[in-house]
Copies of this chain bind each other. A is one copy, B any other.
């Protein structure tokens, strides 16, 4: 019987919703391109419920306890005395989330000799030290595609919000004013601008597809070139480097996983090569941007706006400068955990657990690390021997 340690974000301080804003969420047939949605044998929740927080438990308790397993759910994840660290020594399986990352460092993996499976309830497992997981022979799996479209929607929303100066204009309403000139002296149309994505995987491509009818000029850079048919369909220009891309773009959106090549990619040097007054939207990983370089660029006017929902570390401390820098449109890390996404990743975690317990293979597209090497989705995004460290040290951010 397995012990499952599940680290989730806190319950709402405003109380659990007595009734939800909506009665149902749309039923999707499949993901773009044909991948099927998660196919667990059963789920013990109603899609549209809040599942991602501690008392939501990803809807797993009945399933796990019914099979005789132990489930520990906590949001206490940081430091040596945290519940997470205390539960690790006899944990068989860890389930964590990018939104509230339980950083699974090499040190922590060393403290968990029985740990065989780490599941990310979401996508991108950079909070796990993948090298240590490979060396241990662990399996690392995530629910590929579960919230890629959620994030792509967030990106388009934030691009429009920055370019059109949405939030400052909203604030004039709440303050009781009708200061149109103040609202619009920083408000532009997106139409005709050049928009580029750093990486064109599932999210980046979905962003490009959604932006195409806005009559913008599309650009991308990626390790992997898109098929010619897709480049032609989207009328998108390939750049071999981020540097080449940012020189021509009015809006840049980052949709790349975090790995050593992307860590601090957007530093003072690269930002200086952007067009003055460009907008930057980063819903990928906080560490891809140099925190203080972003603040400097907004203060100088080199960047006209910055938005995104990824930070380092997470949760961001109260005094994180991105909370107060000018012309930002940040959210906490929420883009991939809409109620719609939660239904999919909770079902995906259930599917992975069913497979694991029943000795059936986990879907190839869910696997990041398996059998002592990068696998499936992991091999696409990361490089062996050159993976992220899962560090929780805030100091790394500044290096």
Binding site for B on A (CB under 8 A): 9-14, 16-17, 19-23, 25-28, 32, 50, 52-53, 99-100, 149-150, 153-154, 156-158, 160-161, 164, 166-167, 169-170, 172-174, 176-193, 209-210, 212-215, 250, 275-277, 301, 304-305, 309, 314-316, 318, 322-324, 327, 329-335, 337-342
Contact = CB atoms under 8 A, between A and B. Distances in A.
Closest 7 interchain pairs by CB? A26-B192, A178-B315, A22-B277, A157-B160, A189-B340, A169-B331, A53-B181
Nearest to A194: B26
A46 to B, nearest CB: 14
Of listed A26, A27, A184, A315, residue having the most chain B CB within 10 A: A184
B23 A277 contact: yes
A152 to B, nearest CB: 9
B100 A180 contact: yes
A214 B191 CA distance: 18
B181 A52 contact: yes
B19 A301 contact: yes
A17 B185 contact: yes
A178 B50 contact: no
A12 to B, nearest CB: 4
A322 B213 CA distance: 31
Contacts of A301: 19, 21
How many subunits of this chain does the assembly comprise?
2
Nearest to A209: B213
A23 B182 CA distance: 18
A94 B239 CA distance: 51
A32 B180 contact: no
Where chain A touches its partner, the secondary structure class is loop
A80 to B, nearest CB: 21
A332 B213 contact: no
B183 A331 contact: yes
Nearest to A315: B178
A333 to B, nearest CB: 7
Nearest to A337: B184
A154 B164 CA distance: 8
A332 B169 contact: yes
Contacts of A161: 157, 161, 166
Contact of A181 (B9, B25, B327): B9
Contact of A189 (B16, B153, B181): B153
A172 B332 contact: yes
A276 B14 CA distance: 22
9 contacts: A13-B182, A21-B277, A50-B181, A52-B180, A99-B180, A100-B180, A154-B160, A170-B330, A183-B332
A40 B33 CA distance: 48
Given A10-B181, A153-B189, A154-B164, 6 more contacts: A23-B275, A50-B185, A153-B190, A173-B323, A178-B315, A180-B333
A120 B188 CA distance: 20
